[in-house]
Homo-oligomer: A and B are copies of this chain.
Amino acid sequence: MLSFPTLVREIPAYNLVPDEAVELIHRESVKILEEVGCEFRDVEALAMWKAAGADVQGTRVHIDRAMLMELVAQVPPEFTLHARNPERTVKVGGKNTIFVPMYGAPYVRDLEGKRRYGSLEDLHNFHKLAQMAPQLHSMSSIICEPMEVAVPKRHLHITHSALTHGDKPFMGIVTSKERAEDVMKMAGIVFGDEFVKDNPVVVSITNCNSPLVWDQTMLDAMRVYARNNQPLILAPFALCGASTSASAIGAVAQVNAEALAGLAFTQLIRPGSPQIYGQFMVTVDMKTGAPMGGTPEAAQMMFVMGQLARKYNLPWRTSGFHVGSKINDAQAGYESNMLMHAAILSGANYIWHVAGWLEAGLACGYSKFMTDCEQLGGWYKYAGGLKFDDFKEAMAAVREVGPAGHFLGTQHTLEHFEKAFFMPTIMDFNSFEQWNAEGAKDHDTRGRDKAKAALAAYEKPPMDQAIAEALHEFVARRERELPNTVS
Contacts and interface: CB of A to CB of B under 8 A. Distances in A.
Contacts of A406: 211, 242-243
Contacts of A198: none
A246 B417 contact: yes
Contact of A36 (B37, B379, B403): B403
Given A36-B399, A428-B326, A386 B288 contact: no
A104 to B, nearest CB: 16
Nearest to A29: B395
A442 interface: yes
Nearest to A419: B246
A328 B330 contact: yes
Given A247-B412, A324-B429, A211 B330 contact: no
B296 A404 contact: no
A479 interface: no
A485 interface: no
A5 to B, nearest CB: 18
Contacts of A337: 294, 333-334, 336-338, 341
Interface string A316-350: 00000000111111111111111001100100000
Nearest to A434: B288
Interface string A205-234: 000010111000000000000000000000
A136 to B, nearest CB: 17
Interface in A106-140: 107, 115
Interface in A332-371: 332-338, 341-342, 345, 359-360, 362-363, 367-368, 371
Contacts of A422: 283, 295-297
Interface residues of A, number: 128
Interface string A407-434: 1101011001110111100111111101
Nearest to A413: B246
How many copies altogether?
2
A383 to B, nearest CB: 8
A324 B427 contact: yes
A250 B429 contact: no
A188 interface: no
Interface stretch (A15-23, A46-54, A85-93): A15-23
A444 B385 CA distance: 34
A123 to B, nearest CB: 20
B247 A378 contact: no
Contact of A386 (B17, B359, B420): B17
A410 B333 contact: no
B378 A338 contact: yes
A397 interface: yes
Contacts of A461: none
A379 B418 CA distance: 34
A283 B341 contact: no
A477 interface: no
Interface string A251-278: 1011000000000000000000000000
A71 interface: no
Contact of A391 (B250, B296, B332, B381): B250
A16 B21 contact: no
Given A240-B421, A241-B417, 18 more contacts: A11-B16, A24-B391, A28-B395, A209-B404, A245-B413, A246-B412, A247-B416, A254-B398, A285-B429, A286-B418, A297-B381, A297-B420, A304-B386, A329-B330, A333-B333, A334-B334, A334-B336, A337-B337
Interface of A: 11-12, 14-17, 21, 24, 28, 31-32, 35-39, 60, 107, 115, 209, 211-213, 240-251, 253-254, 283-288, 290-297, 299-300, 304, 324-338, 341-342, 345, 359-360, 362-363, 367-368, 371, 375, 378-379, 381-382, 385-388, 390-391, 393-395, 397-399, 401-408, 410, 412-413, 416-418, 420-423, 426-432, 434-435, 440, 442-444, 447
15 contacts: A17-B386, A241-B417, A245-B413, A248-B420, A250-B390, A253-B391, A295-B421, A296-B379, A297-B420, A330-B333, A333-B336, A334-B427, A337-B338, A341-B342, A345-B345
